[in-house]
């Protein structure tokens, strides 16, 4: 009964007045023909009040003619009529729509950016940098690329070990955990200067401590170059040692070798510029896949774009994934031995750039060999440089 009542409230019902001598007969006929009448009251002689659903009313109207009763509508009730009335009030409706749109729009804007971390200083600088990178109040939260900002934070702040961006309502909360950097060696901590790389010593310039190696010595990685334990000369005790923090420059000849392989025939991928989009709707762990038209590219690359939450970020399980297909044209390019050598040279030069910091290049030798079996040109670069190989190492 409750269900029927609720249904009628939704669909709408009318309160009617039945006037006639044989109103009971009308009620009987209505009941037997499957109509639902309720709250039937007699208010006067020959007059009944009753409630009936909208659809039932039209049937009842037909029956009333047969039983010579008259029906008058007293009141229209229910959601159906309420909406009907609303339809006439266009401005009000417009207001409602505008209101909802405004709420939605305002709630999809980031109003505040917060950084949570222990140190106030770090908080301020991160906040300032985020603003510069584009994460500031006023941007839309839906197309906020969290990963981009996280990467930027982690890249730019070496003392941040972990960061997380969370969107909570209209606030963006950036959680940052500061890393405790290993403490720099104190001035007083005694240490050696040891070799960072294998090489032949070219020059030793001890500023503090005792040079253990001399020019021409071959050292391997980890060998002590300038000792921090200095034997004190003189006195009777003889073998007394003083531990100091060794300092100095140790230049050594170091060799690097790099090689690259360049195939004689190279396939170059080129985008033709034609793209096709498809969509994937994700409900929880189910995926619904659809696209307009066909991908009729002979070869293409698939790229999944960022998933977007359609409804709101609260319903994380429902999201829309656009997929982009890019048409690719593969072109075979015959470089030849000459061309491949040039290419190898170019790549080696690039690698060289990575290598060379503050080094002095003594000798550079580039060799090209042709590997017929694999159809490649192998470029080998041998580099002889002189650089400072000393690093500090604490004395245990």
Binding residues (CB under 8 A) for another protein: these are 1, 23-24, 27-28, 30-32, 34, 36-42, 48
CB of 114 to another protein, least distance (A): 59
Q: Decide whether 46 or 309 has the Cβ nearer to another protein.
A: 46
Identify the CA nearest to 60 among candidates 88, 34, 39.
Answer: 34
CB of 49 to another protein, least distance (A): 9
Q: Decide whether 25 or 76 has the Cβ nearer to another protein.
A: 25
Region of residue 211 (phi > 0: left; psi between -120 and 50: alpha; otherwise: beta): beta
Say how far apart CA 32 and CA 25 lie, in whole Å: 11
Q: Decide whether 31 or 349 has the Cβ nearer to another protein.
A: 31
In contact, 212 and 227? CB cutoff 8 Å: yes
Q: Decide whether 7 or 162 has the Cβ nearer to another protein.
A: 7
| 188, 194, 354, 352 alpha-carbon torsion, rounded to 10° | 150
How, if at all, do strands 70-77 and 13-19 pair?
antiparallel
CB of 321 to another protein, least distance (A): 53
Q: Decide whether 30 or 381 has the Cβ nearer to another protein.
A: 30
Say how far apart CA 278 and CA 293 lie, in whole Å: 9
Residue 237 makes CB contacts below 8 A (sequence gap 6+) with: none
Say how far apart CA 136 and CA 127 lie, in whole Å: 9
Pair of tokens at residue 173: 């909360």
Q: Decide whether 67 or 319 has the Cβ nearer to another protein.
A: 67
DSSP string, 106-117: HHTB--EEEEE-
| H or E segment and range at residue 130 | helix 120-133
CB of 65 to another protein, least distance (A): 19
CB of 84 to another protein, least distance (A): 26
CB of 8 to another protein, least distance (A): 11
DSSP string, 186-224: PTTS-EEEEESS-EEEEEEEEEESEE---TT-EE-TT-E
CB of 37 to another protein, least distance (A): 5
In contact, 227 and 246? CB cutoff 8 Å: yes
In Å, what is the CA distance from 318 to each residue of 65, 184, 312, 315, 331? Answer: 55, 49, 9, 6, 41
In contact, 327 and 272? CB cutoff 8 Å: yes
Q: Decide whether 13 or 149 has the Cβ nearer to another protein.
A: 13
Q: Decide whether 8 or 341 has the Cβ nearer to another protein.
A: 8
CA quadruple 49, 52, 57, 59: dihedral positive or negative? negative
Q: Decide whether 53 or 227 has the Cβ nearer to another protein.
A: 53
Q: Decide whether 16 or 48 has the Cβ nearer to another protein.
A: 48
Q: What are phi and psi of 105, to 5 degrees?
A: -65, -45
CB of 31 to another protein, least distance (A): 4
118 by DSSP, 3-state: which? coil
| H or E segment and range at residue 62 | helix 54-67
């Amino acid at each position: 009964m409750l269900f029927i009542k609720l249904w009628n409230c939704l669909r709408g019902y009318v309160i009617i007045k039945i006037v006639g001598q044989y109103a009971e007969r009308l009620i009987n006929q209505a009941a037997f023909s499957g109509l639902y009448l309720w709250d039937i009251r007699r208010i006067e002689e020959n007059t009944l009040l009753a409630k009936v659903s909208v659809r039932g009313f039209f049937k009842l109207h037909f029956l009333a003619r047969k039983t010579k009763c008259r029906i008058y509508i007293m009141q229209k009730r229910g959601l159906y009529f309420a909406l009907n009335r609303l339809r006439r009030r266009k401005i009000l409706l417009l207001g409602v729509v505008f209101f909802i749109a405004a709420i939605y729009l305002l709630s999809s804007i980031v109003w505040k950016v917060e950084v949570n971390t222990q140190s106030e200083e770090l908080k301020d600088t991160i906040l300032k940098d985020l603003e510069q990178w584009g994460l500031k109040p006023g941007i839309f939260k839906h197309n906020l690329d969290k990963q981009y900002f996280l990467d930027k934070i982690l890249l730019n702040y070496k003392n941040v070990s972990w960061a997380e961006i969370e969107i909570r309502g209209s606030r963006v909360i950036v959680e940052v955990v500061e890393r405790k950097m290993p403490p720099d060696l104190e001035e007083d901590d005694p240490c050696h200067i040891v070799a960072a790389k294998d090489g032949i010593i070219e020059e030793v310039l001890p500023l503090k401590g005792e040079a253990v190696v001399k020019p021409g010595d071959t050292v391997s990685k980890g060998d002590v170059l300038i000792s921090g334990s200095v034997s004190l000369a003189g006195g009777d005790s003889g073998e007394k040692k003083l531990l100091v923090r060794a300092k100095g420059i140790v230049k050594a000849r170091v060799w690097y070798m790099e090689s690259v392989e360049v195939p004689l025939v190279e396939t170059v991928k080129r985008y033709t510029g034609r793209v096709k989009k498809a969509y994937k709707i994700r409900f929880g762990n189910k995926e619904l896949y659809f696209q307009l038209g066909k991908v009729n590219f002979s070869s293409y690359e698939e790229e999944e774009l960022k998933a977007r939450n359609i409804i709101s970020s609260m319903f994380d399980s429902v999201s829309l994934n656009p997929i982009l297909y890019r048409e690719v044209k593969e072109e075979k390019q015959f470089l030849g031995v000459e061309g491949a050598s040039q290419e190898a040279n170019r790549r080696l030069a690039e690698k060289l750039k990575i290598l060379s910091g503050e080094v002095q290049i003594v000798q550079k030798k580039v060799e090209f060999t042709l590997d017929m079996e694999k159809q490649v040109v192998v470029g080998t670069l041998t580099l002889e440089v002189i650089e400072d190989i000393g690093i500090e190492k604490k004395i245990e």
